[in-house]
């Protein structure tokens, strides 16, 4: 219980004398949190024998502080005022205070022999109220705070982000709420509450509390999905607003008509209209990024989401029918059927019809693959064609049509093509002179051509003297039938045999018919001898077109020898001898040599034709001939100077 006054009496000494201090509260300061008291110290006691007593060392201590002291002697009567004064006592922070007063003195003695003290609780002084605050509720633009205090409050303030304090006159009480308006959505605010204690009018500030306003509703999760499947959109909607949702395609075009929800998710967007609209937004791509808008009370929040993807199962293009036809009138005339393709000759047209791209895509390209080669096709409307294809195959083949749409999706279709094997006409040509010499010559062609439909072969020939430009002999041959022609045996002839089939394909064989040439020719007009040639000079010996001796009368001897296969023969040659050796086999000249020997018997040779399988070894006065051919070689020697004989 609080006290406003009190008394302290010291213990009486032996004569029953004492001191008495009385105090009383004179004022309190709320502002300074202090109480001021007044006090009076008087003499007291019950002994009437002595009128006065002597007191020394009198001390008054209030609240631990010496308030008054006198060390000298004072004669004190009963009821006499010894001292008085006032004293200000500070209270505790909470306004409470308990204090003590003590008095001591030396009565009739030198040392202190009388003491007294007392303790009292002063009237509490009203101090600061306590305050706590908490978030009561919030919206996108408002914050409602609650506050409580341990004391009655008659006025409050709030502060946002260390700004100015805003006051609110509230009904007296220890708790309440207030709302802060005009805030921005999704924004953090630091808020303090200040209260004023009614009795002390002192204010107390709360600690700061960070509060973030709600955002307006928006989509938080927009997963990837395949068009045609449902997709679940998750919405930030903590206050259960009535939100209108819409989906935008990759270009920001709205493809939905608005769906209103109050919850936090929505599943759908697989209707035909939405799916087709999204497909239409990606005619040349397989996916796009979508966005979702959330609208409430005039506020629209847009968030970019995942990807919407094509369903390849329904997006692939299609090919209707495929066909082919031979457009070469020549081959068709022979085969009688444009669906039968002649190897390398037919000009094939390929066609794919009823080409169709799906889900807003367009037809991009079409090709046909023939034996590993891709041919780009021309597209007109829904039809693709490729003309002029030649196919080099002797057996049936399969071709593949590939359609590609604007998204890169493809469709294929295969088609079997009937092939007919074709080869150029060919022949085995026989051409020769009678007895390999006369002008009468013979020509025959054993022809072959492809057995296709009405295909046939004509055989033509043309002949001219080599070195001339005009064909003097022309005509046709019957297959495998020999004909006789007259071609001057003194000249070589060019003979061409041309085979032409019904496809107008030709094969030309170019042959040369040699002059009619004996091994040795005696020309009586020129008075000359030609070996493997016709002499052109008078009085000469000519070998293979070379003049060996000219303009002289000469005689020569001949020597012949049959040399079996894998055998050899040696000829002895005298000094200063000259002769020609000719090798003959199978009716033709195989080798031709001119030999000379010196006075010492050393031999030298001039080969004027191929060796014909013979090998020649020279030594002093000797020529050795070895036959490594496959048949007997006949060797003839024309000796026009010196001596030559078979060595024994």
Q: Are 622 and 572 in contact (CB under 8 A)?
A: yes
Q: What share of the chain is helix, strand, coil (3-state, %, to 5)?
A: 5, 55, 40
Average pLDDT over residues 526-531: 75
Lowest mean pLDDT segment, chosen from 197-201, 300-304, 381-385, 642-646:
642-646
% residues pLDDT > 70 (the chain)? 92
Q: In 545-625, which residue ranges form alpha helices assigned H by DSSP?
A: none
Are the CB atoms for 304 and 218 separated by under 8 Å? Answer: no
Residue 590 predicted with pLDDT over 70:
no
Which one has a higher pLDDT value, 557 or 607? 557
Q: 243 has which bridge partners?
A: 261
Mean pLDDT, rounded, for 451-469: 96
Asked if residue 483 has pLDDT above 80, the reply is yes
Q: In this predicted structure, what is the pLDDT of residue 553?
A: 46
Mean of pLDDT over the chain:
91
pLDDT at 486: 96
Q: What is the pLDDT of residues 89-128, one digit of tens each?
A: 999 988 999 999 999 999 988 899 999 999 999 999 988 8
The answer to whether residue 409 scores a pLDDT higher than 80 is yes
Parts of the chain belonging to CATH 2.60.40.2410:
426-513
Q: For residue 647, what are the contacts with CB-CB under 8 A and spacing of at least 6?
A: 569, 570, 571, 572, 622
Q: What is the three-class DSSP state of 491? A: coil
| pLDDT, tens digit, 9 for 90 and up, residues 232-251 | 999 999 999 999 999 999 99
For the chain, residues classed under CATH 2.60.40.10 are 131-212, 316-418
Contacts of 133 (CB under 8 A, 6+ apart): 145, 146, 147, 191, 192, 193, 206, 209
Fold (CATH) for 131-212: Immunoglobulin-like (2.60.40)
Cα(153)–Cα(158) distance, integer angstroms: 14
What is the spatial distance between Cα 495 and Cα 461, in angstroms, rounded to a whole number?
A: 7
pLDDT band at 621 (very low <50, low <70, confident <90, very high): confident
What is the tens place of the pLDDT at every residue in 124-141? 998 889 999 999 999 999
Containing H/E element for 278? helix 272-280
Out of 22-26, 28-32, 383-387, 584-588, least confident range = 584-588
Tell me the Cα Rg of the chain.
70
List the beta bridge partners of residue 287.
Answer: 309
How does pLDDT run across 35-75, given as a tens digit for each residue?
999 999 999 987 555 567 889 999 999 999 999 999 999 99
Per-residue confidence (pLDDT) for residue 573, from 0 to 100: 84
Which string of DSSP letters, residue by residue, matches 291-360?
A: EEEEEETTEEEEEEEEEEE--HHHH--B---EEEEE--HHHHHHHS-TTEEETTT--EEEEE-S-B--TT
pLDDT for position 564: 81
Q: What is the pLDDT of residue 541?
A: 73
Distance CA 81, CA 191 (A): 61
Mean pLDDT of 175-179: 97
CATH architecture of the domain 426-513 equals Sandwich (2.60)
pLDDT digits (tens, 9 = 90+) for 253-283: 999 999 999 999 999 999 999 999 999 999 9
The CATH code for residues 5-121 is 2.60.40.1470
- pLDDT(610) > 80: no
Residue 254 confidence (pLDDT): 97
Q: Residue 374 class from Cβ within 10 Å (0-12 exposed, 13-18 middle, 19+ buried)?
A: exposed
Q: What is the pLDDT of residues 486-499, one digit of tens each?
A: 999 988 999 999 99
How many angstroms separate the CA atoms of 503 and 326, rounded?
14
Most confidently modeled range among 458-462, 515-519, 521-525: 458-462
Least confident of 193-202, 328-337, 588-597: 588-597
Q: Which residues pair with 542 in a beta bridge?
A: 530, 547
The answer to whether residues 155 and 170 touch, using CB atoms and an 8 Å cutoff, is yes
Fold annotation for 555-646 = Immunoglobulin-like (2.60.40)
User: Euclidean distance between the first and final Cα of the chain, in Å?
Assistant: 175
38/30 Cα distance (integer angstroms): 18
Q: For the structural domain made of 218-314, what CATH number should be given? A: 2.60.40.3580
Share of the chain above pLDDT 90, in %: 72
Q: What is the reported pLDDT for 586? A: 46
644-646 sheet: strands from edge to edge: 614-619, 622-627, 568-573, 644-646
Bin 381: left if φ > 0, else alpha if -120 < ψ < 50, else beta. Answer: left
Interval 292-305 mean pLDDT: 95
* Per-residue pLDDT at 622 exceeds 60: yes
Check: CB of residue 192 under 8 Å from CB of residue 158: yes
Element spanning 40, H or E: strand 34-45
pLDDT at 442 over 70: yes
For residues 346 and 391, the answer to whether their CB atoms sit within 8 Å is: yes
Residue 293 near residue 304, CB atoms below 8 Å? no
Examine the pLDDT at 200 and tell me if it is beyond 90. no
How many beta carbons lie within 10 A of that of residue 544, not counting itself? 18
User: What pLDDT sits at residue 587?
Assistant: 45
Residue range(s) of every CATH 2.60.40.3580 domain in the chain: 218-314
Question: What is the reported pLDDT for 209?
Answer: 97
Produce one character per residue of 502-535: b if its CB has 16 or more CB atoms within 10 Å, e if not.
bbebebebeeebebbbeeebebeebebbbbbbbb
The least confident of 309-318, 344-353, 430-439, 514-523 is: 514-523
Q: Which CATH architecture has domain 316-418?
A: Sandwich (2.60)
pTM: 0.62
């Amino acid at each position: 219980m609080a006290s406003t006054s009190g008394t302290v009496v010291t213990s009486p000494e032996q004569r029953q004398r004492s001191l008495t201090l009385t105090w009383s509260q004179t004022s309190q300061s709320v502002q300074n949190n202090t109480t001021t008291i007044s006090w009076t110290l008087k003499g007291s006691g019950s002994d009437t024998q002595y009128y006065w007593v002597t007191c020394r060392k009198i001390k008054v201590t209030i609240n631990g502080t010496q308030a008054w002291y006198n060390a000298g002697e004072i004669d004190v009567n009963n009821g006499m005022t010894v001292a008085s004064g006032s004293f200000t006592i500070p209270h505790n922070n909470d306004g409470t205070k308990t204090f003590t007063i003590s008095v001591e003195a030396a009565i009739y003695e030198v040392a202190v022999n009388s003491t007294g003290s007392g303790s009292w609780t002063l009237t509490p002084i009203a101090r600061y109220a306590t305050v706590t605050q908490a978030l009561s509720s919030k919206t996108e633009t408002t914050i409602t705070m609650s506050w409580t205090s341990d004391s009655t409050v008659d006025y409050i303030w709030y502060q946002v982000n260390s700004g100015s304090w805003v006051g609110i006159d509230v009904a007296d009480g220890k708790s309440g709420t207030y709302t802060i308006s005009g805030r921005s959505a999704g924004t953090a605010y630091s808020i303090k509450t200040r209260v004023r204690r009614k009795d002390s009018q002192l204010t107390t500030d709360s600690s700061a509390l960070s509060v973030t306003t709600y955002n307006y509703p928006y989509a938080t999760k927009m997963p990837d999905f395949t068009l045609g499947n449902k997709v679940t959109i998750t919405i930030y909607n903590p206050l259960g607003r009535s939100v209108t949702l819409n989906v935008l395609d990759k270009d920001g075009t709205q493809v939905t008509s608005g769906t209103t929800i109050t919850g936090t998710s929505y599943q759908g967007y697989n209707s035909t209209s939405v799916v087709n609209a999204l497909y239409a937004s990606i005619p040349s791509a397989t996916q796009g990024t979508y966005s979702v808008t959330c609208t409430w009370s005039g506020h629209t929040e847009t968030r970019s989401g995942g990807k919407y993807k094509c369903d390849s199962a329904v997006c692939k293009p299609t090919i209707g029918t495929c066909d082919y036809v031979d457009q070469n009138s020549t081959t068709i005339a022979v085969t009688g059927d444009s669906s039968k393709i002649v190897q390398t000759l037919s000009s094939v047209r390929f066609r794919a019809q009823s080409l169709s791209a799906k889900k807003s895509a367009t037809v991009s390209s079409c090709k046909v693959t023939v034996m590993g080669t891709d041919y780009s096709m021309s597209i007109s409307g829904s039809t693709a064609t490729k003309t002029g294809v030649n196919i080099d195959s002797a057996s049936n083949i399969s071709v593949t049509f590939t359609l590609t749409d604007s998204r890169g999706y493809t469709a294929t279709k295969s088609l079997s093509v009937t092939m007919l094997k074709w080869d150029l006409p060919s022949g085995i040509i026989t051409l020769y002179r009678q007895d390999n010499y006369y002008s009468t010559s013979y020509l025959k062609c054993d022809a072959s051509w492809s057995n296709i439909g009405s295909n046939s072969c004509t055989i033509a020939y043309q002949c001219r003297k080599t070195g001339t430009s005009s064909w003097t002999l022309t005509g046709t041959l019957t297959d495998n039938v020999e004909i006789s022609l007259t071609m001057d045996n003194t000249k070589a002839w060019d003979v061409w045999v041309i085979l032409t089939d019904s496809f107008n394909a030709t094969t030309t064989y170019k042959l040369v018919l040699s002059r009619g040439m004996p091994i040795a020719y005696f020309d009586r007009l020129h008075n000359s001898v030609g070996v493997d040639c016709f002499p052109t000079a008078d009085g000469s010996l000519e070998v293979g077109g070379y003049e060996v001796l000219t303009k002289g009368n000469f005689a020569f001897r001949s020597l012949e020898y049959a040399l079996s296969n894998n055998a050899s023969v040696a000829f002895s040659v005298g000094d200063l001898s000259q002769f020609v050796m000719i090798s003959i086999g199978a009716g033709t000249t195989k080798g031709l040599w001119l030999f000379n020997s010196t006075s010492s018997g050393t031999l030298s040779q001039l080969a004027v034709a191929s060796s014909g399988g013979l090998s020649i070894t020279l030594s002093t006065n000797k020529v050795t001939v070895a036959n490594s051919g496959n048949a007997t070689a006949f060797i003839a020697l024309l000796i026009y100077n010196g001596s030559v004989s078979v060595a024994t």
